[in-house]
């Protein structure tokens, strides 16, 4: 299948491109390269530099490359920034995404896979988080994702769009061969921050809160390997053959790990100490967030290869060790 991967030069998108190739599909990448890296995409893969909201460009790609399905990984995703600059998030995550969908529908491309987030649930009412829990985002980032989820339902009804939306938890890790990995600027994810601290590239980490009602007092989160996420997305393709199909899946291992457990795993894998200091809680941080992914496993046959924390951290360590400057392409 010819698959347009929007945001395919970014962290999750680039890993999905590799998994698409492994599964026998033909990926084509569209990325504005604000956060993407040319080196994250194999030179044999067509890559168009441009914005998802550029209807003329997107329309031409859909025609020229005979696109059959579109995957969307091109959202802005810094929660804190979404609070201070909400317009940036609404223009990219909502307005530009709606233009992408409008262009798809006008060109007769009606299969769509959407990268959503567990942030649509806000502070969940119960754990683990199932797909049918109430959604009440507490920041503009989560709200923009929920806005698109709701738009997708309407487009499925009105235009026969078939879509799968994946709400995932803490994407982590790197490709098994350590050729691509996580290289955000600025970096906000715990595992690469801990690795950089262990390597002396940044000051000691701040651990926000050690008085939560959890086993060691620090927050619990669900870390899921980026390749496992990618395989789940591809497994949904067959579900989109029927026009108007709309499906939602939560993706996580279902086994949460604390902040201190992550730091301990980095120390074990790297053989280096992770310097850190305790700090006050951050406003809005729930004590625990973890997924119930039974639906994805039952309906998609999704199998988690990286079911525990240490192999996820080991893959991230291999990438950072092999590529200490990241992609070094900017």
Looking from the CA of 39 toward its CB, the CA atoms found within 13 Å total 13
Active site annotation includes 249? no
Residues 123 and 260 in one domain: no
Q: Is residue 327 part of a domain?
A: no
Model pLDDT, residue 284: 78
Q: Is residue 183 part of a domain?
A: no
Average pLDDT for the chain: 96
Residues 153 and 205 in one domain: no
**DSSP 8-state symbol, 204:** P
Q: Is residue 284 part of a domain?
A: yes
Average pLDDT for 170-198: 95
Dihedral angle, C-alpha 136, 138, 143, 149, nearest 10 °: -30
Model pLDDT, residue 45: 98
Q: Is residue 314 part of a domain?
A: yes
In angstroms, rounded to a whole number, what is the distance separating the alpha carbons of residues 306 and 223?
10
Dihedral angle, C-alpha 311, 299, 19, 118, nearest 10 °: -60
CA angle 40-45-47, nearest 5°? 75
Residues 17 and 166 in one domain: yes
Please identify which residue in the block is written with the tokens 């899946």. Answer: 249
Q: Is residue 10 part of a domain?
A: yes
CA angle 252-77-45, nearest 5°? 80
Residues 145 and 273 in one domain: no
Residues 14 and 159 in one domain: yes
What does the pLDDT look like over 31-64, one tens digit per residue? Answer: 999 999 999 999 999 999 999 999 999 999 999 9
Residues 76 and 164 in one domain: yes
Query: Is the confidence at residue 322, as pLDDT, over 90?
Result: no
- For residue 115, list its beta bridge partners: 166
Average pLDDT for 69-79: 97
In angstroms, rounded to a whole number, what is the distance separating the alpha carbons of residues 273 and 200?
10
Give the pLDDT band of residue 25 (cuts 50, 70, 90): very high
Q: Which of 11, 89, 141, 306 is catalytic?
A: 141
Domain containing residue 290: CATH number: 3.90.25.10
Residues 158 and 280 in one domain: no
> Do residues 93 and 145 make contact, with C-beta atoms less than 8 angstroms apart?
yes
Domain containing residue 80: CATH number: 3.40.50.720
Can you list the positions of beta strands (E) in the chain?
2-6, 26-31, 47-49, 69-72, 111-117, 162-168, 170-172, 205-208, 220-221, 223-225, 246-251, 257-258, 276-279, 288-289
pTM: 0.96
Average pLDDT for 284-290: 89
Q: Is residue 273 part of a domain?
A: yes
Query: What φ, ψ does residue 266 adopt, rounded to 5°?
Result: -60, -40
Residues 114 and 237 in one domain: yes
Give the pLDDT band of residue 20 (cuts 50, 70, 90): very high
Give the pLDDT band of residue 323 (cuts 50, 70, 90): confident
Residues 167 and 210 in one domain: no
H/E segment holding residue 301: none
H/E segment holding residue 214: none
What does the pLDDT look like over 98-157, one tens digit per residue? Answer: 999 999 999 999 999 999 999 999 999 899 999 999 999 999 999 999 999 999 999 999
Q: Is residue 18 part of a domain?
A: yes
Residues 286 and 237 in one domain: no
Q: Is residue 102 part of a domain?
A: yes
Q: What's the domain count of the chain?
A: 2
Query: Is the confidence at residue 330, as pLDDT, over 60?
Result: no
**DSSP 8-state symbol, 304:** -
The residue segments making up the domain with residue 315 are: 190-222+254-322
In angstroms, rounded to a whole number, what is the distance separating the alpha carbons of residues 107 and 102?
9
In angstroms, rounded to a whole number, what is the distance separating the alpha carbons of residues 141 and 137?
8
DSSP letter string, 257-291: EEHHHHHHHHHHHHSS---EEEEPPPTT--SEE-B
Model pLDDT, residue 325: 84
Model pLDDT, residue 283: 78
Give the pLDDT band of residue 236 (cuts 50, 70, 90): very high
Residues 157 and 197 in one domain: no
Going by C-alpha positions, the residue among 167, 309, 324, 142 that lies closest to residue 251 is 167
> Do residues 48 and 69 make contact, with C-beta atoms less than 8 angstroms apart?
no
Residues 126 and 263 in one domain: no
């Amino acid at each position: 299948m010819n698959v347009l991967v929007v945001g395919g030069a970014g962290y999750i998108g680039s890993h999905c491109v590799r998994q698409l190739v492994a599964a026998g599909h033909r990926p084509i990448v569209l990325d504005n390269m604000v956060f993407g890296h040319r080196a994250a995409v194999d030179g044999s893969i067509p890559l168009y530099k441009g914005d998802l909201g550029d209807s003329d460009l997107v329309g031409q790609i859909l025609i020229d490359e005979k696109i059959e399905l579109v995957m969307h990984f091109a959202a802005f995703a810094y929660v804190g920034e979404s609070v201070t600059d909400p317009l940036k998030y609404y223009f990219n995550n909502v307005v530009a995404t709606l233009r992408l969908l409008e262009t798809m529908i006008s060109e007769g491309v009606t299969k769509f896979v959407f990268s959503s987030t567990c942030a649509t649930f806000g502070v969940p009412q119960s754990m683990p988080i199932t797909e049918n829990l109430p959604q009440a985002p507490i920041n503009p980032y989560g709200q923009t994702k929920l806005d698109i989820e709701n738009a997708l339902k309407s487009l499925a009804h009105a235009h026969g769009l078939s879509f799968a939306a994946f709400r995932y938890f803490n994407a982590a890790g790197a490709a098994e061969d350590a050729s691509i990995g996580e290289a955000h600027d600025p970096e906000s994810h715990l595992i690469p921050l801990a690795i950089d601290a262990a390597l002396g590239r940044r000051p000691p980490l701040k651990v926000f809160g050690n008085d939560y009602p959890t086993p060691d007092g620090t927050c619990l989160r669900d870390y899921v390997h980026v390749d496992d996420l990618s395989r789940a997305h591809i497994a949904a393709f067959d579900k989109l053959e029927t026009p108007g199909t709309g499906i939602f899946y939560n993706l996580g291992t279902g086994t949460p790990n604390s902040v201190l457990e992550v730091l301990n795993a980095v120390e074990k894998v790297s053989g280096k100490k992770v310097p850190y200091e305790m700090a006050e809680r951050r406003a809005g941080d729930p004590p625990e967030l973890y997924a119930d992914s039974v639906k994805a496993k039952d309906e998609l046959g999704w199998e988690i290869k990286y079911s525990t924390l240490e192999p996820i951290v080991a893959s991230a360590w291999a990438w950072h060790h092999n590529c200490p400057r990241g992609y070094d392409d900017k």
